[in-house]
Structure 1
Amino acid sequence: MSQYNTLGFVGLGVMGEPMCKNLVLKSGHPVHVYDMNAEAAARVAQAGGIAEKSAQAVAEKADVVFLSLPSIAQVEEVVRELLAAPHKPSIIVDMSTSDVARTRKLAQEVNAAGVGYVDAPVARTAEAARKGTLLITVGGSEADFAELKPLLGCMGSDVMHCGELGNGQMLKILNNIMVFMTVDALSEVITIGRRAGMDAEKLLQLLSQGSADSFVLRNHGMKSLAKDQFPEKVFPTVYAIKDAALALSLASEGGFQPRIAQYAYDMLCKTRDAGFVQNYHPAVIQLIDGRAKVDAASLEA
């Protein structure tokens, strides 16, 4: 069991809300929650959470605070709000997808205030967040990982220790850029197959039986690409662009200029500019196969 008896959660978006609900329902501990969207906080309160009026109010009552926020900019802002509270939490766990270098720098600031810090970003889908079957990649000390694993296990079925702080972010970022590159490859294969007269669903079903099989083929490929279904509120293109940019930044810091990852980023930007801003990111196939094009006039505007 974890030593942390009172929990906090800030950020109740598409992923954060179901994650927090699982923490409320499974942890056996009180969970104090905050989000700028009062309706989201109210829904979690209906499940048993305790809605607070600010992130600082959460810090006042929680031993550990989990964050699920859009980017490192929001993480930095909320973390400083938590540190400004008269009563600080013992540890902060960032479950957002954040820049590695800025995560490590922020951790130093947090540690200087006498508070622990761990990065634990999540992978997989919103459905996995609802089911509590997320992949959670954790960066931090062995001791912190051991204490937090039972709580993280309320939200994820696969909780992995990836090494020192920042490594959890690194694994998440590289996982996602691999997904984006694979979606592009599948988009090209589907386009070739369709133009040669083969149905996309049949093509992917057959490919899944051989060495070309993968999670991305079965999930993004069969459920989205082959069916031409790109709903909103399911990991939209703008989120994918953010994660792809983080991968390119990580590559640049290492003095490497990737070609395939750069292509994936560029195509996501074109997908956004063609109007698929909030659509599920496999909508990129419509740019790859030529059905959708970027309006030059809209870019100039």
Structure 2
Amino acid sequence: MAQETIGFVGVGLMGQGMAKNILDGGYPVMVIAHRNREPIDTLVARGATEAASLEEMAAACSIIHICAPGSPQVEAVVAGLLPNMQAGAVIVDCSTSDPSSTMKLAEILDAKGLHMADAPLGGTPVQAEAGELATMVGASETVYSRIKPVLECWAGAIVHLGPSGAGHKMKLLNNMLAMGYAAMYSEALALSNKVGISTEQFDSVIRGSRMDCGFYQTFMGYAVEGNREAHKFTLTNALKDMRYLESMADSVALANPVGNAIKNSFALAHAAGGDGPEDYVPHLVDYVAKRNGVKS
């Protein structure tokens, strides 16, 4: 079988490291610019080629990764690729997308002899650079077997969960837990300070205890150390994911009061001004504190 040629749409915080690792794995990689030229120039200097358009990428690549903010953007990219895709080509959506959109795209692609896989990400930009992300995959067995060697270039942990959409369903469940931690930590810290226990005292008890975890440590990298980039995942994306989770719960008539509470915590922060590209999840602590008259 001829070597796969890999396209990559969305070489941002996560995508740049992923594309770099695919290059290092020996695959030809084609990238396309959006707003920021720096990662494109860096990847081209390492051996990637630059596509002038989605049409050019579609014609040249057999497996195309997409890292986009959400389903509307993924749908737009797929629409741009679709008319010129190679027979049997695969789209791998690494975004955190709405599973219902993913499954609809899979049907559209399948009708044209093409394939859809969802491989959303677990991890940070540092892990993306190191090739140590986790991914949860939705794809047929045949497509999964085909894309797995490429995924192994950028992921240290890969779990195949089922057909298209399964990866995105699991990613939303994962993010419900992660954003739930963020909402609880923010509220606990506000209450802690309100009753006279400092953030540093709070951290001295939780850190190293059974309540400690990797997410706690990156979150508290801001609350304790003031590192605004300790966990670079935006409040806007967190809110989007919790809205997707709510939609998924609604689709199976599941009551999800905890999920709704998490969503509302992020919605309040977003409405209060936490809607910028550098407003990250750990900054939720400031919005919860301010809402409660606490100096964070």
Normalised to the residue count of structure 1, the TM-score between the two structures is 0.88
Q: Does 1:287 align with 2:272?
A: no
**Aligned residue among 240, 243, 247 for 1:242:** 240
Aligned-partner Cα distance in 1 for 2:102–2:160: 17
In the alignment, what sits opposite 1:90? Answer: 89
Structure 1 residue aligned with 2:273: 275
Partner amino acid, structure 2, of 1:239: N
Q: Which amino acid aligns with 1:272?
A: H
Contact in 2 for aligned 1:96/1:121 (Cα 8 Å): yes
Aligned residue in 1 for 2:209 = 210
What secondary structure sits across from 2:175 in the alignment? helix
C-alpha distance in 1, partners of 2:49/2:88? Answer: 16
Q: Does 1:252 align with 2:250?
A: yes
- C-alpha displacement of 1:30: 0.8
The CA deviation at 1:80 is 2.1
What residue number does 1:104 align with?
Answer: 103
In the alignment, which residue of structure 2 is the partner of 1:53? Answer: 52
Instruction: Note the C-alpha offset of 1:89.
Output: 5.7
The alpha-carbon distance between structure 1 residues 34 and 292, as it changes in their structure 2 partners (threshold 3 A), is: farther
Is the 2:269–2:288 contact (alpha carbons within 8 Å) kept by the matching residues of 1?
A: no
C-alpha distance in structure 2 between counterparts of 1:53 and 1:88, whole Å? 21
**Residue identity matched to 1:283:** H
Aligned to 1:296: none
How large is the RMSD of aligned CA atoms in angstroms?
2.2
Distance 1:177 1:170 in 2: 11
Q: Distance in 1 between matches of 2:286 and 2:85?
A: 52
Contact 2:223 2:285 in 1 (8 A): yes
Greater shift, 132-141 or 281-290, is seen at 281-290
Once the two structures are overlaid, the 10-residue window that deviates more, 81-90 or 48-57, is: 81-90
- Which of 35, 38, 52 is the matching residue for 1:37? 35
Per the alignment, residue 68 of structure 2 pairs with 69
Distance 1:128 1:171, change over 3 A: same
Counterparts of 2:85 and 2:162, CA distance in 1: 32
Residue 231 of structure 1 deviates from its aligned partner by 4.1
Number of corresponding residues? 290
1:205 and 1:148 mapped to 2: Cα distance? 44
- The answer to whether the 8 A contact 1:19-1:155 is kept is yes
Shift in Å at residue 194 of structure 1? 2.9
* Gaps in structure 1 of 5+ consecutive residues: 294-301
Deviation of residue 3 (structure 1)?
A: 6.3
Q: Matches of 2:3 and 2:205 in 1, distance apart?
A: 49
Residue deviations 1:13-65 (CA, integer Å, cap 9, x gap): 2222222122112x201101113236132222112211110111111111111
Q: Is the 8 A contact 1:187 1:225 kept in 2?
A: no
Q: Is the 8 A contact 2:192 2:198 kept in 1?
A: yes
Q: Which one-letter code corresponds to 1:176 in the other structure?
A: N
Corresponding residue SS for 2:236: helix
Query: TM-score scaled by structure 2?
Result: 0.90
**Partner AA of 1:127 in structure 2:** V
Whether the 8 Å contact between 2:218 and 2:230 is mirrored in structure 1 is no
1:119-156: CA deviations, max 9, x gaps? 11112222222222111110012232222122111111
Query: Is the contact made by 2:222 and 2:228 (CA closer than 8 Å) also made in structure 1?
Result: yes
- Relative to structure 1, is the Cα distance of residues 34 and 88 closer, same or farther in structure 2, using a 3 angstrom cutoff? farther
Structure 2: state its 5+ residue gaps. none
On the 8 A contact 1:193/1:203 being kept in 2, the answer is: yes
Match of 2:114 in 1: 115
**Which whole-Å CA distance do the structure 1 matches of 2:115 and 2:132 have between them?**
26
CA distance in 2, matches of 1:232, 1:215: 12
Deviates more, 1:188-197 or 1:142-151: 188-197
Asked whether the equivalents of residues 4 and 64 of structure 1 are also in contact (C-alpha less than 8 Å), the reply is no
Tell me how far 1:249 sits from its aligned partner.
Answer: 0.7
- Does the 8 A contact of 2:231 with 2:282 survive in 1? no
Partner residue in 2 for 1:298: none
Secondary structure of 1:82 counterpart: helix
